[in-house]
Chains A and B, each alone.
Chain A
Amino acid sequence: MKYLKTYPEKCIGCHTCENVCSQLFFKNENASLSCIRIAEKDNAFDINVCNQCGQCVTVCPTLALTVNAQGVVMLNKSKCIGCMACVAICPTQSMRYQKAMLTPFKCIACGSCATKCPTQALEIVTEG
């Protein structure tokens, strides 16, 4: 399974990853449009991003969510009817949605954020 592994202890809270992700997904540097989220917590940083566990896939009524050959959960927007059941079921709250946006969005382990992270707090790994 391919996923974005995080090392929160290395994170300095520069939010570069959020900007890279939102720019890539929505052409807009806006943390609320990023699949990865950085939050300050107890003088440290918490990194929240999809771990590709696949629970969302089990509740999708239209099979818009599938696991690809690399083990990454992918959303086919043309099949998604925007019920947001996946948003609620996600155990790490990493399935994103934005108010009034018709479909959710999520990390696809593309690695763009990892390549720009100045402290190597993010890494694409393949396990299993």
Chain B
Amino acid sequence: MSHNVAEMKAKHKLIAEYKYELGKVDKGYNRRTLYVNVGSGEIKEKPVSQEMIDKFVGGKGFDLRLLWDAVNENTKWYDPENAICISVGPVGGNTNYPGSGKSIVTSLSPMTNIPIDSNVGGHFGPYMKFSGFDALEIQGKSDKEVIVYINGDEGFVQIFEAPDEAIDSHVLAEQLHEMYANNEDDKQHISVVSAGQAAQHAYMGMLNFSFYDKRRKLPRLKQAGRGGIGHVLRDKKVKALVVKFSGLKADLNNPVDLSVVQERGIKLHNEVKDHDDEQCKMRQVGTAHLVEIMNDYDLLPVKNFKFGADENSDKVHSRVWTSMFTQNMPDGCWFGCSLSCCKAVDNFELRTGPYKGDKVCVDGPEYETVGGCSSNIYVWDPKDVVEINFYCDTYGIDTISFGTTTAFVMECWENKILRPEHTDGLDMTWGNADSVLECLHQMARGEGFGVKLGKGILWLKNWMVNELGAPADFLQDIGMEAKGLEYSQYMSKESLAQQGGYTLALKGPQHDEAWLIFMDMVNNLIPSFEDKAEALHYFPMFRTWFGLQGLCKLPWNDIEPANNGQTAEPAKVPEHVQNYHDIYTAITGKPIDSKEMILQSERVYNFQKIFNLRMGKGLRNDDRPPYRAVGPVTAEEYLSRQERYDKQLKEVIGVDPTNMTTEEKMAKHREYRTDRYEKLIDAVYKRKGWTPEGIPTVEHLQNIGMDLPELIEVVKKYL
């Protein structure tokens, strides 16, 4: 693609500039953050105190601390004081240990109006860190289209008007990599954060973080997908955040002992080389290897999570994606990640929309996109899935929320709750890929039913109930959202622990806190409520730690040591946990063990919980799922797995189903499953040190060293 970037650059008008001393990271920290107000033009540094490091560690912890201070209890996502915070964490940016380049982004979410956190690859976060800042905080609202530019080579930050650059990410990223690089080789030193045209109109807007792919000679895009942060960026009229940093080396964290980081990295590289082909095949197909596994275990969401498998799923089997993805490429989203899971479809010719006929590189689809934009909406042509994936990415739309919301819309269409007069004539029948794509294009144009769909399930439920007279109870049952966020793409009906893993998640139902289905449903390793509660304490805390450090979860357990199965707790992957302890200590100089690791997370986790309470959510009722996540809502669902459900009535619930109607059997299931979920909440809250209403107790906050006055003030209102 050719761009006249000189002309575009000539139209830039500098609004504000801040020059700063280039620093040096010491043991993983710069000890300063960067504040940029795109409304007032204020740019400044903020010091990072020792207490901030001790209590909040970095990454998501720093983000949440900054966000807390930026907003108050009345702030809405669209208010100027809402901030977008990006941070990497002390371990992040090392080039040795696979999965060490994650940025964590937080903001008040347009979908939930509580803090959302999203974990994303690409080069922006590490480059920003090595430019001198542990975190970036974007506040204010501009009345003109602006770009924020951080030059980490020369030490300045600029805000400027940028009227001519594109909005859609695949074009904009190319323009900005070209604009700020001195030559082709220099493009690798640029990273761009952007959204897209649909993110302007859709709550479910997301952020793309770029990294330059030197083999493909184009910027690739990784997504901070969840919770609508792309919509916040566009609401602030920010076209892009750009960073330039040229001096990347292996020791820029100034670690205490680089050799340990190198050795653990090489050890993991060797595991990947030796075992990936027999384990997850991440290097060939990324997370899309999960499709057939989920289908085989009845966990692949089909038709808005009604069913967990479908005979058509063979059409989106991992071998299909393997054949479409370009093979033997080092597709790491940060340097040093030999797991190479960010696969791409190259030279894909688009058949719809403003880029029809263009041949493009499409990042993914990953498993979640297949779940959301294939099986869940019954679109089985892989080319349609790739096209949806492409437009979601370049328009700045979260494929998870888009897939789950579209599935909800299609079920409403099936039930004639939605009709052509409500959808501007779009036929939302299961599998209608043309309508799905048109929804996306409408979203980008800011017109038609697509804009409504882009507001997500919570908004649609209210609209349908209030404006269309739809049955509220049924919509509540089938609308797969909690706290305002759409569920990601796993069936949780047969795993009570996963129902908790999803719905108790602080930001809303995303599986990054806990994925316990195999431990629970398949291997029955956590049979009691207390066992499940322990798992729902440990794993969310353990996984939170990745977000504090700037790490990716995948190299933890999507590649395992050959002897992992023989360890005492294979689900925890003990050898890799030890690797994390080792590299944390080698970089920061601070000793750490599993207890301290969990405690670091617990402090930030409880802070986020109280942040939710401060913003008016986070009570027990907010942790309750729609019934579709728990059990069969409709007779169709029940009858599709009648043998299983009847057996459960007899053997688990203790009721003879012989003479019962389907409705009676469903009612019994509902009574049992709902009650079971409530008991799970009781056990989990107790394990987490919270009251039955979900409030962290003062004593618990004291025990974990988080009895900060501002937190006590919030919880005391509820105790």
Residues of A within 8 A of B (CB): 58-63, 79, 81-85, 87-89, 97, 99-100, 102-103
Contacts and interface: CB of A to CB of B under 8 A. Distances in A.
A31 B266 CA distance: 21
Contacts of A59: 330, 338
A82 B250 contact: yes
Contacts, number: 71
Contacts of A82: 95-96, 249-251, 262
B338 A85 contact: yes
Contacts of B262: 82, 84, 97, 99-100
A88 B259 contact: no
Given A62-B188, A63-B214, A102-B251, A84 B332 contact: no
A88 B250 contact: no
A84 B259 contact: no
Contact of A84 (B215, B251, B265, B328): B265
B95 A81 contact: yes
A67 B47 CA distance: 47
A81 B249 contact: yes
B266 A88 contact: yes
Nearest to A63: B214
A85 B251 contact: no
Contacts of A83: 95-96, 250, 265, 335-336, 338
A32 to B, nearest CB: 13
Contacts of A100: 251, 257-259, 262
Contacts of A63: 214-215
B269 interface: yes
A84 to B, nearest CB: 5
A63 to B, nearest CB: 5
B422 interface: no
Residue of A62, A81, A83, A84 ringed by the most chain B CB atoms within 10 A:
A83
B249 A62 contact: no
B273 A60 contact: no
A102 to B, nearest CB: 5
24 contacts: A58-B330, A61-B214, A62-B335, A81-B248, A82-B95, A82-B96, A82-B249, A82-B250, A82-B251, A82-B262, A83-B96, A83-B265, A84-B96, A84-B262, A84-B336, A87-B269, A88-B270, A97-B262, A97-B266, A99-B262, A99-B263, A100-B257, A100-B262, A103-B250
B562 to A, nearest CB: 15
Residue of A58, A81, A87 ringed by the most chain B CB atoms within 10 A:
A81
A61 B273 contact: no
Interface in B259-275: 259, 262-263, 265-266, 269-270, 272-273
B210 to A, nearest CB: 15
A61 B248 CA distance: 13
Interface in B314-368: 328, 330, 332, 335-336, 338
A61 B679 CA distance: 50
A5 to B, nearest CB: 26
Nearest to A99: B259
Given A87-B269, A89-B269, A97-B262, A81 B338 contact: no
Contacts of B257: 100
Chain A binding surface, main DSSP class: loop
Interface string B251-291: 10000011100110110011011000000000000000000
B247 to A, nearest CB: 10
Contacts of A97: 262, 266
Contacts of B95: 81-83
Nearest to B271: A88
> Chain B: interface residue count, which band?
20 to 34
B335 A61 contact: yes
Contacts of B328: 58
A99 B266 CA distance: 11
Interface in B80-97: 95-96
B336 A85 contact: yes
A108 to B, nearest CB: 21
Given A60-B330, A99-B259, A100-B259, A85 B249 contact: no
A100 B214 CA distance: 27
B101 to A, nearest CB: 11
A85 B268 CA distance: 10
Contacts of B188: 62
B251 A61 contact: no
A61 B249 contact: no
B20 to A, nearest CB: 24
Q: Closest 9 A-B residue pairs measured CB to CB?
A: A82-B250, A88-B269, A83-B336, A99-B259, A100-B259, A83-B95, A100-B258, A81-B95, A85-B338
Contacts of A102: 249-251
Nearest to B252: A81
Nearest to A84: B266
Nearest to B331: A61
A125 B273 CA distance: 30
B154 to A, nearest CB: 19
Contacts of B272: 88
Contacts of A89: 269, 273, 338
A103 B265 CA distance: 14
Contacts of A58: 328, 330
Contacts of A61: 214, 330, 332, 335-336
Given A59-B338, A82-B249, 15 more contacts: A60-B330, A62-B214, A63-B215, A79-B185, A81-B336, A82-B251, A83-B338, A85-B269, A85-B330, A88-B269, A89-B273, A97-B262, A99-B263, A100-B258, A100-B262
A88 B338 contact: yes
A82 to B, nearest CB: 3
A117 B187 CA distance: 45
B311 to A, nearest CB: 38
B99 to A, nearest CB: 12
A97 B266 CA distance: 10
A82 B251 CA distance: 9
B396 to A, nearest CB: 26
Contacts of A62: 188, 214, 335
Contacts of A81: 95, 248-250, 335-336
B342 to A, nearest CB: 12
Nearest to B248: A81
A59 B188 CA distance: 16
Nearest to B272: A88
B280 to A, nearest CB: 17
Contacts of B214: 61-63
Contacts of B248: 81
Contacts of B185: 79
B458 to A, nearest CB: 41
A81 B188 CA distance: 12
A89 B95 CA distance: 16
Contacts of B269: 84-85, 87-89
Nearest to A88: B269
Nearest to A58: B328
Nearest to B215: A63
